[in-house]
Amino acid sequence: MSANYKNWVPNGMITALTAGTVILGAGPAALLCTKMNPTLKKALAGTAGAGTLVCRAMTAWSIYAHDKFSYDGKRQLSKEIVEGTAEYVTLPEGGVGLDVLLAFGLL
């Protein structure tokens, strides 16, 4: 039986951040088409634009981290962490590893 290690950065998080980026990006465009106080329009568009940039950066980082932590992909950081940690775990004869903290005697 092989272990099924899920990615530490879930696909749902990337989807939600992408959707947030699109929605926030539509805000400044919609504001430019409205008739309102120009000062208020600039303030709202600037706030939505800054939010878009932050959300876009978080999306990019999440995609990078998702690729980096892929257990089956080219960048196997998760595999290195799991197998590297497993090298330090010694189970007693017939024992079952339930938790790394238990194996290290930390609990």
**Per-residue confidence of the chain (107 residues) as pLDDT tens digits?**
455 556 778 889 999 999 999 998 898 878 878 888 888 888 888 888 899 999 999 999 999 888 877 766 666 666 677 777 777 777 777 766 655 555 555 54
Predicted confidence at residue 99, as pLDDT, reads: 53
Specify the residue for token string 């998760």: 78
Predicted confidence at residue 20, as pLDDT, reads: 92
Predicted confidence at residue 75, as pLDDT, reads: 61
Predicted confidence at residue 8, as pLDDT, reads: 75
Domain residue ranges of the chain, discontinuous segments joined by +: 10-68, 76-107
